[in-house]
Amino acid sequence: MAMMTGSQMVVECLKQNKVETIFGFQGGAVIPLFDALYDEKETFKIIRPAHEQGAVHAADGYARTTGKTGVCIVTSGPGATNTVTGIANAYMDSVPLVVITGQVASVLLGKDSFQEIDITGITMPITKYNILIKDITQLTRALTRAFRIASAGRPGPVLVDITKDVLMKKDRFISYFEEPLLVCESTIEDEHAKKLAGLINTSLRPVIYAGGGVKISGAQKDLVNLAEKNGIPVVNTLMGLGTIPRDHMLSLGMVGMHGFREANFAVTNCDLVIAIGARFSDRVVGKKDRFAPNAKIIHLDIDETEIDKNMPAHYSNVCDVKKSIDSIMRYVDENKRQDWYAQIQNWKVEDRITPDMFVAKNIIGEINHKFEQSDNIVVTDVGQHQMWTAQYWNFNGRTDFVTSGGLGTMGYGLGASYGSKIGNPDRNVILFVGDGGFRMSCQELVTIAKYKIPVMIVLMNNSTLGMVRQWQHLFSNRRYMETDIDEDVDYIKLAGAYGIKAEKVQDMDSLKSFLNGFEEISEPMLLECKINKDDMVLPIVPPGEAIDEQIIDLY
Amino acid sequence: MKRYVLSLLVENNSGVLSRIAGLFARRCFNIDSLTVGTTEDETLSRMTIVVIGDEQILEQIKKQLNKLIEVIKVIELTPNESISRELVFIKVKADNSTRSNIIEISNIFRANIVDVAHDSLILELTGGPDKIGAFMKLMEPFGVLEFIRSGATGLQRGSTVLNETK
């Protein structure tokens, strides 16, 4: 067996796991590892972000849109702590990542050495698994396991912390790659599928509540087939958007705090909730005892801990949701449910937005229109623009939606957008970002510029932290404390400093002419849309209220 | 709220204990006691965790523990199908007038006297929560200077074992 340094072993494990792209940033403890990568420039594409947080968000976007595991390499101490928000974000949204951190040499451990931090301790609650390797004989097994754990069952981030002496030491390379995979072996019993299908067949007003698990499972088509076969309307979580085409007659869009009236009313008034790959987040449920109060709940998920965690389920099944859906489908009757459908349509209300108004709905609609025929990845940051995109983008079967759901990480979008583009060179990547989140992450413009990553950045600039301001307006007596961030940055010049083409628009006509000015997104570009700081995301369910107690319109 | 005893088989790595303790703290589950020790297999450790909660909390705890990579198996040690015991050392004030009284009670409970000083005794007692509780109560009037409880530790009855690979 070949003798290798620890660093070469890491590289070998990355190759075994078919890693093509690494998001990494140099530093003292990983010099040997990057040195080993010097000889593998043809094998890996290495993207160096401006900041380690950007690397993790990029790897996260890459993983979400390719289905592969995202890989980051960073140094010890501050390099490692800078990944924490990104790891937490991936953990909350079940994104498979392997984060490799360098660590000080094992003799220096525990002595508060330079750039020493207990990163396995810090990331314990936000990783599926993590391990500190200070013995080279454990290295390859740990890395192989890391990749398996990250992608098995419900995916998530794994961190492997490797001391510098392990990276430099030589030992025999032992491969664990051929060892059996960790797989989710659970399944759905035929009798159980029949019983669940029976509940669906006998229900009068069922609703499917589909989350991000449907996407991860690759069960989008199965979901639509099930919905169509039995005429079941589908509401989505934020993470589940895109699992059913938004223009499908059975799609009601997002449910919960910013769900449209018909979606929330359908859930409140249904007699059966079929939750698929969703976790009854507080942002969906609202007041718990008034969430679908007259309904039985069927909960299908791959993660057993989600069953009965936030909402007690009457029936459940734990396995890959694609398997569950397919098995249940066999016993589901054909149905149209025209009365139920009609009732839901009656709950719709029109907003007062006219086509000439320069507001998020129209801006998003116009951009959506331009890219209607192409294969898109829509990325957002966090805040009002995120909810507007969730509400108004017409997610078709070809659109991936990349957004920070569980953690709500401002500053996520820019990194995630270029990570998505690197993984999908042939698809359009359109990022919607607010001015608040953009300020938190705009150093990553340098990465986009350096690697010439053609993403379209739509900066929805309302000169305020809009979502918080909206809450202050509605629930804090308009006491706008620390939310207005004014117009003290010239974002066009800022983009220019990085050599990125940028334009500012303030009305629909100039937006249209900007969009008409190019065919494809062939280079990085920034479009600043100057919108009103008083614009709100509506409807909104006040915090703690039932989801059918919405504020629909203020005027 | 009820008292439940869980028995866990876990990987014998540094960090496992803090991972499990962290899980309980983070999810707002209450640990009444936790004991950990080596097993017949040196790569594994066994933990006994006593938790206070209701049926729903117990279910969540079991599921969350099972989700940890290092946790190999979790079972509940029910009173009928398992045995569990706790060790306690009690340091009691004792002088010539009370010493024989204390020794008499200790004999009834089969507690051992492990240290004798001119003004105190240390007693060692093994038992379940009821027995220990009763003994402690009887010792109180003499003046308990300090005590330490090991936390419960237990096994399933019969030939079934937690590590099924054996």
Q: Residue A101 maps to which CATH number?
A: 3.40.50.970
Q: Is residue A536 part of a domain?
A: no
Q: State whether B22 and A132 contact (CB < 8 Å).
A: no
Which of A139, A172, A205 terminates a domain? The answer is A172
Looking at the structure, do residues A9 and A125 belong to the same domain, yes or no? yes
Q: Are residues B149 and B95 in the same domain?
A: yes
pLDDT at B158: 93
Query: Which stretch of A185-189, A276-280, A383-387 has the lowest confidence by average pLDDT?
Result: A185-189
Alpha carbon distance A181, B101 (integer Å): 64
Closest CA to A494 of A457, A533, A452: A457
Sorted by sequence, the CB contacts under 8 Å of residue A466 that are 6+ apart come out as A383, A384, A385, A434, A436, A533, A535
Kindly state whether residues B40 and B19 are assigned to the same domain.
Answer: yes
Residue B165 falls inside a structural domain: no
User: At B60, which CATH number?
Assistant: 3.30.70.260
Element (H, E) at A402: strand A400-402
Q: Considering the domain boundaries, does residue B41 fall inside one?
A: yes
Q: What is the pLDDT of residue A553?
A: 83
- CB contact (8 A) between residue A305 and residue B64: yes
Token couple for A508: 């629909």
* A185 noted as active-site residue: no
Helix extents (H) in A371-507: 384-392, 413-423, 435-441, 445-450, 466-475, 491-497
Asked if residue A183 belongs to a domain, the reply is no
- Residues A36 and A6: their CA atoms lie apart, in Å, by 9
- Single residue among B76, B103, B129 that ends a domain in this structure: B76
Q: What is the pLDDT of residue B162?
A: 86
B7 with B71, same domain: the answer is yes
pLDDT of the residue at A184 = 59
Q: Are residues B33 and B53 in the same domain?
A: yes
How much is the pLDDT for A181?
60
Among A172, A198, A221, where does a domain finish? A172
Mean pLDDT confidence for B123-139: 96
Whether residues B118 and B133 share a domain: the answer is: yes
Shared-domain flag, residues B58 and B90: no
| pLDDT band, very low/low/confident/very high, at B56 (cuts 50, 70, 90) | very high
Among A242, A247, A251, smallest CA distance to A219 is for A242
Q: Of A131, A303, A305, which has the smallest distance from its Cβ to B60's Cβ?
A: A305
Whether A553 maps to a domain, the answer reads no
* pLDDT value, residue A129: 96
Predicted confidence (pLDDT) per residue in A91-106, tens digit: 999 999 999 999 999 9
Structure-token pair, residue B150: 């090991």
Residues pairing with A23 in the sheet:
A47, A72
- Helix, strand and coil percent figures for chain B, each rounded to 5: 30, 40, 30
Number of domains in chain A: 3
CB contact under 8 A, A121 and B18: yes
The Cα–Cα gap between A16 and A29 comes to 24
At which residue do the structure tokens 């330490």 appear? B148
Domain membership of residue B133 as a residue range = 83-153
Which of B76, B109, B137 corresponds to the end of one domain?
B76
Each residue of A226-250: b (16+ CB within 10 Å) or e?
bbbebbbbbbbbbbbbbbbbbebeb
Q: Based on the residue annotation, tell me whether A467 is a catalytic residue of this protein.
A: yes
What confidence score (pLDDT) does residue A51 get? 98
User: How many DSSP H helices and E strands does chain B contain?
Assistant: 4, 9
Of residues A339 and B166, which shows the higher confidence score? A339
- The tokens for A416 are 């995630």
Task: Report the residue from A125, A305, A307 with minimal CB separation from B67.
Answer: A305
pTM: 0.95
Q: How far is CA A311 from CA A300, B24, B143, in A?
A: 13, 20, 49
CA–CA min distance B154, chain A (Å): 26
d(CA A84, CA A53): 8
d(CA A430, CA A457): 6
**Both A321 and A259 in a single domain?**
yes
Q: Which residue range forms the structural domain that includes residue A131?
A: 3-172
The answer as to whether B158 is a domain residue is no
Looking at the structure, do residues B90 and B149 belong to the same domain, yes or no? yes
**Mean pLDDT of the region A441-455:** 98
Q: Is residue A179 part of a domain?
A: no
The per-residue pLDDT for A487 is: 83
What SS3 state is found at B97?
Answer: coil
Give the span between the Cα atoms of B121 and A54, in whole angstroms. 63
Is B97 found in the same domain as B58? Answer: no
Per DSSP, the three-state class of A349 is coil
Strand A157-163 versus strand A129-133 pairing type: parallel
Helix (H) or strand (E) holding A22: strand A21-24
Q: Which residues contact B69 (CB under 8 A, 6 or more apart)?
A: A128, A129, A149
| Strand bridging mode A525-530 / A456-461 | parallel
CA distance A190 to chain B (A): 24
| Residues in CB range of A235: below 8 A, 6 or more apart | A207, A208, A209, A210, A252, A253, A254, A255, A259, A263, A266, A267
Q: Which of A128, A164, A169, A421 is catalytic?
A: A164
- Tell me, yes or no, whether A379 and A520 share the same domain: yes
B106 assigned to some structural domain: yes
For an interface test with A, the pick among B69, B70, B72, B74 (most A C-beta atoms closer than 10 Å) comes out as: B69
| Among the listed residues A107, A110, A108, A85, the one whose alpha carbon sits nearest the alpha carbon of residue A97 | A85
Return d(Cα A347, Cα A479) in angstroms, integer: 33
* Mean pLDDT confidence for B89-108: 97
Number of structural domains chain B divides into: 2
pLDDT at A16 over 80: yes
Task: Based on the fold, state whether residues B87 and B144 are members of the same structural domain.
Answer: yes
The string of pLDDT tens digits covering residues A321-376 is 999 999 999 999 999 999 999 999 999 999 999 999 999 999 999 999 999 999 99
pLDDT at A452: 98
If asked whether residues A116 and A232 sit together in one domain, one would say: no
Residue A19 maps to a domain = yes
**Does the pLDDT value for residue B166 go beyond 70?**
no
Residue A373 a catalytic site member: no
- Mean pLDDT across the stretch A194-207? 98
The partner residue sitting opposite A125, judged by closest CB among B26, B60, B67, is B26
What is the mean predicted confidence (pLDDT) over A22-48? Answer: 97
Say yes or no: B92 and B37 in one domain. Answer: no
Q: Clarify whether residues A196 and A307 are in a common domain.
A: yes
ipTM greater than 0.90: no
- Whether A448 has a pLDDT exceeding 70, the answer reads yes
* pLDDT value of position A1: 67
Same domain, A334 and A398: no
Answer whether A308 sits within 8 Å of B59, measured CB to CB: yes
Looking at the fold, whether A401 and A494 belong to one and the same domain comes out as: yes
Considering the domain boundaries, does residue A210 fall inside one? yes
Same domain flag for A386 and A491? yes
Are A339 and A376 in the same domain? no
Question: Hey, what are A361's tokens?
Answer: 């709905």
**What pLDDT score does A516 carry?**
97
Structure confidence at residue B13 (pLDDT): 87
Residue A554 lies in a domain: no
The answer to whether position B47 is within a domain reads yes
- Asked whether the bond before A78 is cis by omega within 30 degrees of 0, the reply is no
Query: Is residue B160 assigned to a domain?
Result: no
Are residues A457 and A506 both part of a single domain?
yes
CATH, residue B137: 3.30.70.1150
| Chain B CA closest to residue A184 | B67
Residue ending a domain, among B76, B108, B123, is B76
Q: Is A479 helix (H, G, I), strand (E, B) or coil?
A: coil
Mean pLDDT computed over B101-121: 97
Q: Identify whether A537 is part of a domain.
A: no
Task: Check residue A379 and give its pLDDT.
Answer: 98
Does residue B164 have a pLDDT over 90? no
Output the six-digit token pair for A283.
Answer: 């942002």
**What confidence tens digit (pLDDT) does each residue in A237-290 have?**
999 999 999 999 999 999 999 999 999 999 999 999 999 999 999 999 999 999
Tell whether A373 and A330 lie within a shared domain. no
Does one domain contain both B16 and B61? yes
In this structure, are A42 and A101 located in the same domain? yes
- Kindly report the average pLDDT of chain A as a whole number: 96
Query: What does the pLDDT read at residue A183?
Result: 61
Q: Are residues B11 and B72 in the same domain?
A: yes
Q: What tokens were used for A135?
A: 């013995």
